[in-house]
Structure formats: structure tokens, C-alpha cells
Amino acid sequence: MAEQEASGLQVLLHTLQSSSDKESILTILKVLGDLLSVGTDRRIHYMISKGGSEALLQTLVDTARTAPPDYDILLPLFRLLAKVGLRDKKIGRKALELEALDVTLILARKNLSHGQNLLHCLWALRVFASSVSMGAMLGINGAMELLFKVITPYTRKRTQAIRAATEVLAALLKSKSNGRRAVNRGYVTSLLGLHQDWHSHDTANAYVQIRRGLLLCLRHIAALRSGREAFLAAQGMEILFSTTQNCLDDKSMEPVISVMLQILRQCYPKSPLPLVTASSAYAFPVPGLITTEPPHDLPEEDFEDDGDDEVDKDSDTEDGKVEDDDLETDVNKLSSKPGLDRPEEELMQYEAMCLELSYSFEELQSKLGDDLNSEKAQYANHHHIPAAASSKQHCYSKDQSSCGQEREYAVQTSLLCRVKTGRSTVHLGSKKNPGVNLYQNVQSNSFRRDSSESEIPDVQASLKADAWDVDAIFCPRMSASFSNSTRTREAVKVIDKLLQTHLKHVPFHDPYLYMAKARRTSSVVDFKMMAFPDVWGHCPPPTTQPMLERKCGVQRIRIFEDIRRLIQPSDVINKVVFSLDEPWPLQDDASNCLQFFSKFESGNLRKAIQVREFEYDLLVNADVNSTQHQQWFYFKVSGMQAATPYHFNIINCEKPNSQFNYGMQPTLYSVKEALLGKPTWLRTGHEICYYKNHYRQSTAVAGGASGKCYYTLTFAVTFPHNEDVCYLAYHYPYTYTALMTHLDILEKSVNLKEVYFRQDVLCQTLGGNPCPLVTITAMPESNSDEHLEQFRHRPYQVITARVHPGESNASWVMKGTLEFLVSGDPVARLLRENFIFKIIPMLNPDGVINGNHRCSLSGEDLNRQWLSPSAHLQPTIYHAKGLLYHLSSVGRSPVVFCDFHGHSQKKNVFLYGCSIKETLWQAACTVGTSTILEEVNYRTLPKILDKLAPAFTMNSCSFLVEKSRASTARVVVWREMGVSRSYTMESSYCGCNQGPYQGLQFGTRELEEMGAMFCLGLLILELKSASCSHQLLAQAATLLSAEEEALDQHLQRCSSSSGSVPSELEDEPACMEEIDYSTDSSSDQEGSLSELDRRIQECAFNKVEGEEEEEAPGQGGEAIP
């Protein structure tokens, strides 16, 4: 049957080319038209494969060369040719070879006064010009001059032909040679004039597509440097800016406004960032490394540009499928296990970090007691430190503030009742008003005190008094160099008074201990101050905050404000008010501007420039010893007015997109609110968007490569109080000192008879800070050999976090893990009795301390150093890997290895794992995967978490091994230590788009809950394993019965994964107004081919424009040579 259809089609096509009978040709064209007008495009592609395009083109040439050309044949032939040509990517080349390109151009010239014939010729030219190289050929043959004869100033006649001509011209101008030709012939000025004329006369917006076509022509010309120069010289910025101001709110003008925005951004003169150097403001002399002179940004002429001399190329290919070259397809690399990267005798040093394997119980108890009485003895005089005997301050006490009660519920109440069954303890915020500020109405009720606050003095008055300079007095680090000064002694008195009168208990936090620990924290720059939120502490807000609903138009408003600065600079202040690069004071307390500060632990703000009274450009610092990784920010701001929106523009972000475009907000901490009993980091900000700006890195700084683009994060903040001191951060900060304080308090909170909690120092960092290693398990029941044997043979679980300093969410997840493991929860007790947890809660202390986003002090991403780490340059990675090597060498490889991370471009929480087969399948590798043996147990834990944790989703998990990830912890531990369950757990900075938390942003409570849920997942994983002991199963069964069988469905050892997992969706839909400023973007759908197809079909059934002029006598009557 198929052969008959093929032979029938081939007969039709052969007859079409060979017949000279008009009726036969028209009949065949009608049959082909009817055949291709129904069904899918498969029919058209089938016809193309049988030589259909060539047959139509040959018929066109033959008909055009008859005297006179028969337009009764040519018009339906053009329509059919355009329909087929839209699907034939080689149509332009075929038209050139069969001389149909020249024939069509000649027919168009002969029909300039006959709109219907001209329209059909233009449709064909539009299809031919879809190939850039064919467009260049048409340009050489004078097509652009012809089109400018068709594109006239505003008229209501022949508008279909004018629209088609603008679309053809836009297609031709994709060619760089045509673009240069257009610039040389002054077409930029002509196009701007035509645009102004049509814009001013088309008041009813009836011809928006013509105006858009003219703008697309300008956009392609502006892809060239010479085109941008001509555009600027013709006052193009001013013209387009002024024409948009009265139509921004008109939705019918959307096609025009979007292209105008792209042109304006494209032609905005590129410039370097307003920094003295692209390198970090902080430098650390790494021993053994030669430091070079920091690169300086150069003048604008140095910027890599568009390559005007580039040869025209076709961007389209027949096969749109691009193989993922990053997937590792070398089976040997995937499956081989390399040898040790160090001498075996070096592993002996890690025995001291695994004392639980060798010491007797008495020795363990003695050693534990010695550790507890060493460093902590220095702080014994501080009654503020929670201790096991303290009922007032202990974090498990029942007589606590509301925050303490919430924490007690989170720890004391079994985790089993908080799984993904709709019974989460999270208080949901209202989704009806996602932009609500939890600080709103603070001023009206801030002094309503309950009985517990009756003795608190007037905070408002106190903060205004010189003696209560919270900004300057509260947070000195009291380093040895000035600890004896009079000012410091006075500061301590003020601190004591503040703590005694205003402090609200924050579980597992103590300000005195924090300040003592901060003295020992070593930073590249000797920070003299501590940030108030870090000292005072943070309690989660009472409600979970919804994602911010993005208002349409917010991005273009900010872009137009950028353009206004360029063309109307009269109101721009442009005053530097803070800079790490300039040592002299830049701020006057009496001046009418905000005061900024960032020289404290984890702080990051390099420069602040006042643009207008309530608007500031901010630049964040690159990572130490680096020129990149600008994302994390954390800074103090003061001197604000309440109820006044302040706009902040962080102008040197690096990532091409961000969750700030999809509902995420930065975080804010108010000192006044904290003193009023609300010590809370809150999501804040409105009018938030993230977009590409006009700043570029020079080619010199980029090492000769094309200078990278920068992006702007802009947001507005309305502060809750006048003259407050507030802190703004990318995400909830969690400092190294906070971790060290937390670990000490945790150690003091545990029952030493039940919980084995040990702190070791894994190593010293480059910056001289100890990297903590924590061991948590249960103490043996007794000194008996049986119990000691069980104690020493518990399997290991290894968890790490915070290798990337800017991923503070990983620390909050880790905080939840640590607190849960030492808690009295029955699940935690079972975990301790059956596992030994080795935890490195912060792999990059130096990066965290110094406000880095991704790197260590050596300027390296430590999670790309696991293959062959250096003890000298990457000590934390070297010794973490050494510890894992040691465990493996004594036959104690961990059941699970997991590295906690944060993710900036996805929502939810998910795992990355490793699988040989899945990687090879995804890469369509020809190697027979049937010969590779691989257990699928690596999928069990994520499936469990998908059922348990409200924030977790299996849909975002991936088990592919990429070449670019070969040196990460996940891949190295999987490959070199043979840990099949080796994971990276990613937590979104933003929130969830599925499950109970759908539409909500993560708070610290949800992140800590995820840490606890991860632990519960480890227990369920063990219960589902074939090696699970009968004793543990019995204990779990008892626990389930006591908890109303809340997890019964998860403990079916043969249960499958959830059966109703939705199909995997794209992480994010396209932002409603996301703009790509590159010239090769296909997102603009310029002269959309599907739209052209629709217009051609309509023309086949309807009469074309009725107002066209009649054909002149003898017009078109001559044959084409």
C-alpha cells in the first residue's frame, strides 16, 4: 500500500514538472494542496523526501519563463511552495540551484504595483531567506533595495504586502553582510523614520505587526558594532525610549515593546563594572603560590564585540538533537576503582578520629570527660550557657518562650507524626497576599508589652541615645588588641544590659558563648565587629512565607529606569557611600543617605553607590583570591526612613537566571524588632527581578576570551522602623562561629550516659581555623563484651556540608540533622543505637568566614578537588577523603555518604546519585549495558525521602555521572570507596512547587525539618535492607504501634515506590517577561513561520486586500529569461 502511495505521489510530481497543460497543472496543485492541508506535517515531510520541493521549484521556473507568466498557476504554486518550504530546511539551497531564487526576485520587481502577485512573491522570498546564506545571496542581488520600495511610510493600502516585506527584510538582515550593507546605505536612519511614522499614525494599533517587523530589522542590524554605532548616532535610544512611554500598559503593544526593549538593551553602551579591579577586595597569601598582579578592567574599546567580519553561517541543522557530551561514557572510568592517592601509612593518623573502634568503654568515658572539661571550663562562669542541670535555659525545658516551645515540640515530639501525610507542624502563611510583610504594622503595636516584657525600657528612645549605639557598641569582637580599652569595657556593660532586658531565648544559642567563640575565629581581614543577628540569634517566624507573586511589567520598568539613567542623567546622584577598596570614610552620618557595612563574619558587600535619593547600586565582592563567584551578599544598612520603598540593584551577579525571577525573596533582620522580642530573619522585598545588564568583563580580565556578562538583581525594601539597623542577606546566614557555638551547646545538652557525642578537629584550614568533625552514636549499654562488640561494629553514616560557603541553607539542614540525632526522639534513639554518624558540618570554614560564595582562600572550588586533593592547599578535602579511605581500609565504608548543598536555580529538595547504567542509557552509549552488573539500591533512599519529607521530590533527582563532576565528593566516594549510596542533597534557596509546601518559600524551620527527615530516611532504609536485624525490626514495630502506625506504609520491606509520581516537568516555565538580549535568539518568533503558514492558508480561501491597484497594461507580460 505504501509503495502504491509513493508511486502515486511520484507520478503527480513528475506530471507537474513535465505537463504544459494549464488545467492539468492546476488540478495537480489542487490535489497536492488538499492532500497537505489535512493531517500532520508528516505528509509534507514525506513529500519533501520524494522530491516535492524540487518539483514545485522547477514548475515555478518553467511557468515564470513562459510569455506571459500565468499567475493563475503561479499564485497557487507560490502558496504551496511556501507551505512546503517552511518545513524544508534546504529550500533556499534548492531554490538557488534551480534558479528559482532569481526568478522569484524578478517576478517581485515586475509586480511592485500589483499587490496580490507581489504578496505571493514575498512569501516565497521569506521562505527562501530562512537560510542565512541564501539571505546573503538575495542581498547581493539587490533584494533589500527592492523591499525598501515596498515598505512605504504609513498607508492603509497594501498593508499585507508591507508586512510581508518587513518580515523578509528582517530575515535578510540576519546576515552580517546584509547588516553591514544596510549600515553603509543609511538604512538605520530610514528604518527609524519609518518606525516613527507608523507609530505616530497607527493610533488604533491596527498595524502592530508592521511596526514590529521594522523593529526586528533594527534589532538584527544592532547585532553589529557598526549597526549600534549608527543607531546611537541617529538618536535611536531617545527615539525608541520616547515612543514606548505612552504605551507600556497597552497589552496589544506587547509584540512591539518586547522588541524595543531588546534593541535598547542591545545598544546600551557596554562598560566595565565601577570597580578598581575585578579581583576580590580581600587577598590571602597562599603559601607556595605566586601571586600575580590583579587584573584591572580596561576601557570600553577592549570589550569583545560582535565580530563584524564573521562569515555568514546557517545556524540551523537538520538534526536538532544535541548529544550531551558531558556524560561520562567511558565504562572503565565509571567502573574502575583507583588506588590510594597517598601512602597507606598516612591513614594511621585517622585512627585518632575513630576512637570508638578501639577504646574500651572506660577509656571512652574518661576521654569524653577530659574533652568536656577542657576548653569549656573557660566559659563556666557564664550562667547563660545552657547546661543539662539548668531548667531555665535548657533547650528541652518546658517553661520557655513561644519559640522555645516550638523547638521543644520539634525535638520532643516524635518525627514520625510529621512525615508527608498532611500532618506537618509548619504554620502556613496566607497565599492570598504573598507580598505581605510580617513586619507590617509593627510601628503601631511595637510597644504593646505583655507581662513578660513589662520592664523593657523604651527601645525607640534607647536606640536614639548615644549610649545605645547598637551599630557601633553592641558587636565589637573584643580581640586581644583592644580588649582592654575603655570603649570595650563600656561596650560590655551595654551588652550585659541589653541581654538582661531584651534577650529572647533562642534554642541552642548563647550570645556570650558566641562572642567568646568569635574571638578565636580567624579571618583574612581582622573583623572588628560582629553582626547583630549572629550574636543575638534567630527564631523562625510564626508562619511560613509564600512565594512572592511576580507582577507583570516589573522587569521592563527596571530596564527602562536603566535606560533613563543613560539618556536623562540629570537626576542621577552617582555618589559612592561605601567601598572596601577606599580606606577613607565615605559616609557622613548627617548625610541624607543610607549607611552600609559588611566587614563582619560572612559579610559580603564591596561597594554601594547612591543613584537617587532612595535607590542604590550595590556590588558584591568576588571570592577571596578570585575574580568571580559574585552571588552571596550579607550586609548591614542603617539610617532609613520607615514606610519608604528603597530600591537596591546588585549589579554584578553572574548566573544567567535565578529563583529571584520565580518567587524567591532575600532575607531581612531588624535590630529593633529583635529588641522587641522578634529576633527573626524574614523573607522580604517586592518589585524583584533578575536580568542581564550592560556591564561586561573586559577581554583582558577574561584572559582573551569574550568578556562575560553581568546580571542585576533588583528589589525594593520598605523598612519597618525609622532609624533602624537592618541586615539584608541572600539567604538565612549561618556563620562558622554559629556552628562552633552550636556544637558546644549540643554537647552540653546531651545525656552523657546515653549519647556518645564527640568533637574532633579534622584539620586546620588555610586560614588557621579548626575544621570540626563530630561523632554521634549511643553509648554501649554496659561494659560487657557483647555490648562493646555491638558498639564497635555499628555501621557508619558519613554526612558533610557547606563545601560551598554561599549555600547557607545546607548548614540549616545540617543543624536540623545534628539536633535531631542528639534528641530524645525514639527514632533518633534507634539511629544512635544502630549507627555511628561521622559528620563534617562545614568543609569550607574559611570561605564561610570571609563571605565567599563558592571557593576557599586559595580561590578554588573545593568540591572540584576530591580526585587528588592537596594536604597543603585543600586540607579539609584531603583529610575528609583520608578519613573515608581509613574507614574503607578497615572494612567500615559508610552505608550512605551524603554531602549537603544548596541550589540556586531549582525548587524543592532532591538528591544527585551515581549510576553506570543510567548514565550510559542517557548518553545512548553503544556499549552493551546488559553485561554491567549494578544494583539499584542507590534509588531506595530518594524514594523513601519522596514519601517522608514534605520538601523532597523524586522527580528532580538524577543519577547521571558527568565528566565535569568527576572530581566532586559524590562521584569520588562512589567510585574510589565503592559507596553505591553516595549522594549530593540539594536544597533550594527558594522553596517548593509540589507537596504540602507548594507555593511556599523555605524558612529555617523547613530546612531543619529536612535534616531530621533525612535521618528518618536512613532508618527506613535500614529497615528495608535484607541485613536488618530482627531486634531493630522489633524495636521499630513497637515504635510504630506507639505512634499509631504513622509510618506503617513505609516499613513494608517489599513495598514499591509511590505509584502516582507525576511525570517530570520542566523546573521552571519561561518567565512571563524574561528577555534574551542575544541576537541569535529564536524566542522572538520574528515573522513566525507558523503565522506565515496561517496567512497563506487564509489567502487560499479569501480574497486578498480589496484596495489594491489594478494591474497596469502589459504589466508582467514578458517572459523571464
Q: Which residues contact 1101 (CB under 8 A, 6 or more apart)?
A: none
Closest CA to 258 of 1084, 828, 996: 1084
Q: Which of 406, 807, 819, 986 is catalytic?
A: 986
Q: Which residues contact 228 (CB under 8 A, 6 or more apart)?
A: 222, 266, 267
pLDDT tens-digit readout, 237-275: 999 999 888 888 788 888 999 999 999 999 999 999 999
Q: Is the peptide bond before 68 cis (omega within 30 degrees of 0)?
A: yes
CA distance 480 to 783: 46
pLDDT tens-digit readout, 763-822: 999 999 999 999 999 999 888 888 888 888 999 999 999 999 999 999 999 999 999 999
Q: For 599-661, where are the E strands, in sequence order?
A: 607-612, 615-619, 634-638, 645-653
**Integer angstrom CA distances of residue 113 from 118, 153, 1116:** 8, 16, 10
Asked if 878 and 910 touch (Cβ cutoff 8 Å), the reply is no
As given in the structure block, the three cell numbers for residue 462 are: 534607647
As given in the structure block, the three cell numbers for residue 370 are: 577530659
CA distance 844 to 874: 9
Ramachandran area for residue 574 (φ above 0: left; ψ -120 to 50: alpha; else beta): left
Kindly tell me if the per-residue pLDDT of 10 is higher than 70: yes
Kindly tell me if the per-residue pLDDT of 702 is higher than 70: no
pLDDT tens-digit readout, 1010-1050: 999 999 999 999 998 888 888 888 888 777 666 545 455 44
Strand partners, 982: 897
As given in the structure block, the three cell numbers for residue 475 are: 558587636
Q: CB neighbours (10 Å) of residue 711?
A: 21
Q: What SS3 string covers 860-902?
A: CEHHHCCCCCCCCCCHHHHHHHHHHHHHHHCCCCCCEEEEEEE
pLDDT at 412: 45
Which residue has better confidence, 214 or 337?
Answer: 214
Active site residue 986: yes
Asked if 722 and 640 touch (Cβ cutoff 8 Å), the reply is yes
Percent of the chain with pLDDT over 70: 75
Which stretches within 718-859 are classed as H helix?
736-749, 785-792, 808-821, 826-834, 845-849
The lowest-confidence range among 26-40, 339-353, 601-615 is: 26-40
pLDDT tens-digit readout, 345-378: 999 999 999 998 887 666 545 544 554 444 443 3
Cα-atom radius of gyration of the chain, to the nearest Å? Answer: 35
pLDDT at 718: 97
pLDDT tens-digit readout, 922-943: 877 766 555 677 788 899 999 9
**Residue 974, SS3?**
helix
Kindly tell me if the per-residue pLDDT of 121 is higher than 50: yes
pLDDT at 622: 95
pLDDT tens-digit readout, 814-841: 999 999 999 999 999 999 999 999 999 9
Kindly tell me if the per-residue pLDDT of 986 is higher than 80: yes
pLDDT at 492: 66
Asked if 951 and 995 touch (Cβ cutoff 8 Å), the reply is yes
Instruction: Indicate the helix (H) or strand (E) that contains 167.
Output: helix 159-172
pLDDT at 1043: 56
pLDDT tens-digit readout, 528-585: 889 999 999 999 988 999 999 988 888 888 999 999 999 999 999 999 999 999 876 6
441-448 average pLDDT score = 34
Asked if 531 and 600 touch (Cβ cutoff 8 Å), the reply is yes
Residue 912 phi/psi, 5-degree rounding, is: -110, 130
Kindly tell me if the per-residue pLDDT of 342 is higher than 50: yes
**Residue 1046, SS3?**
coil
pLDDT tens-digit readout, 579-607: 999 876 666 655 789 999 999 999 999 99
pLDDT at 249: 79
860-880 average pLDDT score = 96
pLDDT at 1: 46
Q: Which residues contact 583 (CB under 8 A, 6 or more apart)?
A: none
Kindly tell me if the per-residue pLDDT of 693 is higher than 90: yes
Kindly tell me if the per-residue pLDDT of 1116 is higher than 60: no
Asked if 162 and 202 touch (Cβ cutoff 8 Å), the reply is no
pLDDT at 400: 35
Closest CA to 66 of 98, 107, 109, 108: 107
Strands 615-619, 607-612: pairing is antiparallel
Asked if 1009 and 951 touch (Cβ cutoff 8 Å), the reply is yes
pLDDT at 1105: 44
Which residue has better confidence, 243 or 729?
Answer: 729
The lowest-confidence range among 227-231, 440-444, 638-642 is: 440-444
**Which residue type sits at 814?**
M
**Residue 920, SS3?**
helix
1-20 average pLDDT score = 73
CB burial class (10 A; 0-12, 13-18, 19+) of residue 572?
middle
As given in the structure block, the three cell numbers for residue 615 are: 535607590
pLDDT at 485: 54
**Residue 682, SS3?**
strand
Instruction: Indicate the helix (H) or strand (E) that contains 102.
Output: helix 100-110
Kindly tell me if the per-residue pLDDT of 337 is higher than 70: yes
pLDDT at 160: 92
Strand partners, 669: 727
Asked if 850 and 526 touch (Cβ cutoff 8 Å), the reply is no
Residue 689 phi/psi, 5-degree rounding, is: -155, 165
Select the highest-mean-pLDDT range: 399-403, 748-752, 919-923, 932-936: 748-752
956-978 average pLDDT score = 93
CA distance 762 to 765: 9
pLDDT at 12: 86
pLDDT at 454: 32
pLDDT at 165: 95
Q: Which residues contact 531 (CB under 8 A, 6 or more apart)?
A: 475, 600, 601, 602, 603, 634, 636, 727, 733, 735
CB burial class (10 A; 0-12, 13-18, 19+) of residue 59?
buried
pLDDT-derived band at 431 (thresholds 50, 70, 90) equals very low
Kindly tell me if the per-residue pLDDT of 18 is higher than 90: no
DSSP designation for 688: E
Closest CA to 474 of 528, 522, 539: 528
**Integer angstrom CA distances of residue 841 from 534, 688, 817, 900, 973:** 18, 32, 10, 9, 17
**Which residue type sits at 260?**
M
Instruction: Indicate the helix (H) or strand (E) that contains 733.
Output: none
Kindly tell me if the per-residue pLDDT of 728 is higher than 70: yes
pLDDT-derived band at 43 (thresholds 50, 70, 90) equals confident
Kindly tell me if the per-residue pLDDT of 885 is higher than 80: yes
Angle, CA 599 vertex, CA 598 and CA 603 arms, to 5°: 55
94-123 average pLDDT score = 91
Closest CA to 794 of 839, 835, 838: 835
CA distance 730 to 712: 14
Percent of the chain with pLDDT over 90: 54
* Statement: the pTM of the whole predicted model exceeds 0.75: yes
> What rounded mean pLDDT belongs to the chain?
81
